[in-house]
Structure 1
Amino acid sequence: MKRSLSFATLLVVIAAGTAIADDFPALRNTEPDPGSAMTASQSAASFRVPPGFRVNVFASEPEVQNPIAMAWDARGRIWIAENYTYAERTQRFDLGLRDRVIILEDTDGDGRSDQRKVFTDNVQMLTSVELGQGGVWLLCPPQLLFIPDRNGDDVPDAAAEVVLDGFTVPAENYHNFANGLRWGPDGWLYGRCGASSPGRLGTPGTADPERIPMNGGLWRYHPTQKRVEALTHGTTNPWGHDWNEFGEAFFVNTVNGHLWHAVAGSHFVRPHTIDPNPRTYALIDQHADHWHWDHSKDWSDSRKVTGEHDRRGGGHAHSGAMIYLGDQWPEADRGKLFTLNFHGRRVNVERLDRSGSGYVGRHEPDRLFAADTWFRGIDLGYGPDGGVFVLDWSDTGECHDSTGVHRTSGRIYKITRGEPKRAVVGDLAKSDERSLADLHRHSNEWFVRMARRQLADRSMSGDRLDQAREALRTMLVDDPDPVRKLRALWSLYAMGVADEELLRKLLGHEHEAIRAWAIRLLTDRMPLDTVTSQRIGPAVAVPEGGLVEFVRMAKEDRSGLVRLVLASTLQRLPIAQRAELAAP
């Protein structure tokens, strides 16, 4: 007995038709000492948070168990990937079990889930879930899967399609595998992978010489171009990433540093493996000016979370990353990166300061300290009302400390400042195109990203969306706020209507982030070559006159960020053209 289930909750579960399917394998707990766990309500009450903040239980076992990842849909519902196949270190994964995707909804706005559905319970080694393009994307190493649900009735239309394969789960390391599906502002689907789980990625049937080597860091896949690329290489175990308001990506990591600016083409330091390109001159170190543990000692020592380790932030392991761009927490939190410190049972806070050619992460006071020794925070993100949701794996070990696996536990906490106002979402899938364009002015980035996803999906389905195009082009040209300009630009590009003429004009824009993104989008179709000296895939020509303009910018542009993006772009150019840009 680890958790008690109220009779009322049991009735809700049964009435909603969400009991475990008859053929769903019985769950086995191998954790030897479950008696020390708090109930979900006790755990929520025991969190130490800043004055004015509150923690409540959004969902707990048996409604949710072993939550490993989350995503949001157009109705403001949260989708949870539940992983039951994760097993003891000697077994790695128990393939006699299956994993599950559930949908949780708070219909009355009281901050707690009261409706639950099972979308699928027939996948294994599930690490991530994302929605879009008329279905559900699941990362189940060695494969990226897509389950169609074109009519949005929460029932799969057909069996899962294998979109990519070639990810690995090596025998000697089973917690660095591929994870982290998230839509980027540019319309690509992004993911992460640990350096100890190298892969060779491609669509099914791709010959090995044509596959993309993946050796840690971030990768991305374009759903219409059917193209995958490795964005970065290195680090140890990235398990969280997000974008700031200017579209710069950041991810968190374990052991050899915790914060990285994810610049395309980067080769980052790695503690235990060899970089795939033997000609790298030097590997890039982390972009934080501090550590969250006493790194003068062995990294494994920080799991003790005492003394200097505790003072610096709680330990080496980080899971989940959120750059807060909601509108419910204090304005001072906007733009800061929050990550769960796994062993320290807290949230670390990073202030992302623009510096030189990139950013520096500076340590802000830690937040959300958990007293529950079972708390294993694994992901976090803000929802439609601006409140932050935290997934708790809820167990006693993991990350080198496994004493067994407790599969019948799991919680989702919601952290708000005071009592949040209920957000009216409706169903954005049914919103008209002009309303979706207007949402690009919303103070909560959640609505902006959901609106972009809807517009991109409709455009890819053949809708012209003339009103949305006109409204977004007007915003891009006339709105004085560079953030809203960027929002409009990204959505136009994700819709496939940001043409070369438009992007070329933006190369001379007064704001550095807009110039930087114009370079990125102009060269987006050119394959990134991060590993070898050979072009991977078919060559794509530089836009006419583009190289001349890039060379001029390299010589004259005073922005370090623009020059950083130009340096990143070198790996997209044909080899014969690289020196001309590299020199300036």
Structure 2
Amino acid sequence: MKRPSPALFAAWLATLNLCISRAADEAKPAVGLASLRVPPGFTVELAAGPERAPYGMAGAFDDRGRLFVAESSGKNIKGKDMPQFPECRIRLLEDLNGDGVFERSGIFADKLSLPMGVLWHQGQLFVASPPDFVRFADRNDDGVADERQVLLTGWKVLNTASLHGPYLGPDGWLYLTHGRHGYRITTKEGELLEGLASRIWRCRPDGAQLERVCGGGFDNPVELIFTAAGQMIGTMTYFTDPQNGQRDALMHWVEGGVYGKWHESVAEFKHTGELLPPMTRFARIAPAGLMQYRGASFGLAYQGNLFSAQFNPHRIQRHRLFTDGATFRTEDEDFLSSTDPDFHPCDVLEDADGSLLVIDTGGWYIDACPLSRVHKPEVQGGIYRIRRRDAPPLEDPRGRRLDWQQADPTQLAQRLADPRPVVRDRAQELLVAAGEKAVPALAQLRRQHTSPDVRCAAIWALSRIGAPAAQAQVRLALQDDHVQAQIAAAHAVGMARDRSAGPALIALLQHPAPAVRLAAATALGQLGEANASAALLAAAAQATDRFLEHAITYALIKLRDAPAAVTALRSASAKTRKAAL
């Protein structure tokens, strides 16, 4: 057999090497932006690379469109050591030319333990940095915080299943979440709150009136969103120990609710029956950030949808939200996915133009994560932007060209119906600040506007104003012909402890919508309305699901009307007897 010439052999070897090289390139997994997939009709682009946002965990915009990002140091410091080695920070990003890319990046605040939540509200930045809840201010507007105040402290730290938030409720309260690692907090009023269980918390923006909303034996509640009517939904881990492919969930959080999993700490609660169930069940996905889409750029089918950031499966999921009795259910699908094993989305939020931002923390985190076992601080994260390809440009998305200085309450009230969410939010804050002068315009908007969401916004503004004339209008909204508005009004009068609303709330216990009955029962318990016992016990007989049963029973527990409960033990209805017990 004739040997090939050296030239032919060299050519053959070069071709072989080229094929091997191409095969290796094809087998090499895509990383970063190249690894991301979104549905047809959408695009994804880099908004901030690792040089500007290397280890982001949570984000929030201020009213100027600047993005604050809670950022890790990239080190896996054990939770208990975090307060002793505060190396994390808050980063401030700015898009200087409106192209969707953040060109400027700086440090707004540093020397934090592990900041797991940021919120811009009333010109200040609020941060959960366990064991502390902190408020920052930048008085000279140089992009660096010059005031730092610990509003509350005492949430214990073990790992990232600790303090998250805060999240602004439509009622004007700040809500926080905390994992099952214990707390010992002295409130501003001098009360000692102590326990072990996971909790949902709320307080005023100055840290006053801290109270526990609900909780249970689960490990780690993270982000909260509020529907237009004020119903609270959140992400969490470990509603059960891993079994049958399940562990984590989306939850519908309700006043006084006790949720799984079973743990000795659930003994801290007043129980109304079985533990409340999850809304949406997941596997071991470690859901973190959560948002509800409010804009119009993605189209009508997306309005009101939830989006969750899921750490372990490297994805953002879309959840269509549906009313299901007194609670909700979802239909779920992947919206953004990645083949990069080091892509770990921790938060998802909506920008003013209706695009979505996804914050990827990178590969640094392994502490307390059963699926991330290799510490990779060299694999830094970034921020990605998702747009709808055919969405028309949104003119002036932040309403900067509107005359805010001269706008009267009637004009501001009309802006609660503006298609731009940022404009609606700014108008809401200005109406609240206007106080009683805004009541007539808000009352008219609530009566006449056709949108339930707009009516709810008017109710929340009235409730936050809180003056007698405003509160009277909120009570009238209990008779609104929109279910959402009635739910919002019931929540508002309950939070205000408005005893004058008692008769109207009792009447709502017969409402055909279970969610309205739940809101009315909750409010009656908050009011301590003694005359409501008989109506609540009668309503128990018609309870259609576990959430409504809980709300009625929890209200009865708070009323402490023993004679009425004893009488109800002879009721023909087993549901009424159960509530009485």
Query: TM-score with structure 1 length normalisation?
Result: 0.77
- Of residues 146, 151, 163, the one that matches 1:163 is 151
The separation in 2 between residues aligned to 1:330 and 1:125, in whole angstroms, is 37
**Cα 1:428/1:118, change in 2 over 3 Å:** farther
Check if 1:520 corresponds to 2:511.
no
The separation in 2 between residues aligned to 1:436 and 1:78, in whole angstroms, is 25
Q: Which residue of 1 aligns with 2:550?
A: none
**Cα 1:465/1:53, change in 2 over 3 Å:** farther
Deviation at 1:261, TM superposition (A): 1.3
- Of residues 275, 278, 283, the one that matches 1:283 is 275
Q: Structure 2: which amino acid aligns with 1:285?
A: P
Counterpart contact for 1:396–1:402, Cα < 8 Å = no
Deviation at 1:66, TM superposition (A): 1.5
1:62-112 CA distance string (max 9 Å, x none): 211211111111111211111227625597538445222122121222221
Check if 1:511 corresponds to 2:487.
no
Deviation at 1:38, TM superposition (A): 8.4
The separation in 2 between residues aligned to 1:280 and 1:560, in whole angstroms, is 17
The separation in 1 between residues aligned to 2:83 and 2:207, in whole angstroms, is 35
Q: Which residue of 1 aligns with 2:567?
A: none
- Of residues 424, 445, 452, the one that matches 1:475 is 445
- Of residues 160, 168, 182, the one that matches 1:198 is 182
Deviation at 1:124, TM superposition (A): 2.5
1:24-52 CA distance string (max 9 Å, x none): xxxxxxxxxxxx9989xx52132111111
SS state at 1:431 partner: coil
The separation in 2 between residues aligned to 1:410 and 1:380, in whole angstroms, is 14
SS state at 1:253 partner: strand
**Cα 1:437/1:74, change in 2 over 3 Å:** farther
Q: Which residue of 1 aligns with 2:161?
A: 176
Q: Which residue of 1 aligns with 2:221?
A: 238
SS state at 1:326 partner: coil
Deviation at 1:243, TM superposition (A): 2.0
The separation in 2 between residues aligned to 1:429 and 1:493, in whole angstroms, is 26
Deviation at 1:281, TM superposition (A): 2.4
Check if 1:113 corresponds to 2:102.
yes
Q: Which residue of 1 aligns with 2:296?
A: 327
- Of residues 355, 358, 371, the one that matches 2:339 is 371
Deviation at 1:321, TM superposition (A): 0.9
Q: Structure 2: which amino acid aligns with 1:331?
A: L
Determine which structure has more spread, i.e. the larger CA radius of gyration. 2
Check if 1:139 corresponds to 2:112.
no
1:548-578 CA distance string (max 9 Å, x none): 3322322x32221111112323542438566
Q: Which moved more, 1:254-263 or 1:217-226?
A: 217-226
Counterpart contact for 2:136–2:145, Cα < 8 Å = yes
1:3-36 CA distance string (max 9 Å, x none): xxxxxxxxxxxxxxxxxxxxxxxxxxxxxxxxx9
The separation in 1 between residues aligned to 2:431 and 2:196, in whole angstroms, is 31
Q: Which moved more, 1:107-116 or 1:423-432?
A: 423-432
- Of residues 34, 40, 49, the one that matches 1:51 is 40
SS state at 1:231 partner: strand
Unaligned runs of 5+ in 2: 1-26, 240-247, 539-581
Query: TM-score with structure 2 length normalisation?
Result: 0.77
Q: Which residue of 2 aligns with 1:75?
A: 64
Q: Which residue of 1 aligns with 2:257?
A: 266
Deviation at 1:319, TM superposition (A): 1.4
Larger fraction in helix: 2
Counterpart contact for 2:221–2:237, Cα < 8 Å = yes
Q: Which moved more, 1:54-63 or 1:241-250?
A: 241-250
The separation in 2 between residues aligned to 1:517 and 1:55, in whole angstroms, is 36
Q: Structure 2: which amino acid aligns with 1:180?
A: G
Q: Which residue of 2 aligns with 1:393?
A: 361
Q: Which residue of 1 aligns with 2:553?
A: none
Unaligned runs of 5+ in 1: 1-35, 294-314, 527-541
Q: Which residue of 2 aligns with 1:292?
A: 282
- Count of aligned pairs between the two proteins: 493
Counterpart contact for 1:231–1:264, Cα < 8 Å = yes
Q: Which residue of 2 aligns with 1:187?
A: 172
The separation in 2 between residues aligned to 1:202 and 1:38, in whole angstroms, is 51
The separation in 2 between residues aligned to 1:490 and 1:222, in whole angstroms, is 15
Deviation at 1:122, TM superposition (A): 3.2
Counterpart contact for 2:505–2:524, Cα < 8 Å = no
SS state at 1:125 partner: coil
The separation in 2 between residues aligned to 1:430 and 1:146, in whole angstroms, is 30
The separation in 2 between residues aligned to 1:511 and 1:573, in whole angstroms, is 23
Q: Structure 1: which amino acid aligns with 2:361?
A: W
Q: Which residue of 2 aligns with 1:484?
A: 454
Q: Structure 2: which amino acid aligns with 1:320?
A: G
What is the root-mean-square deviation in Å for CA atoms of aligned residues?
Answer: 3.0
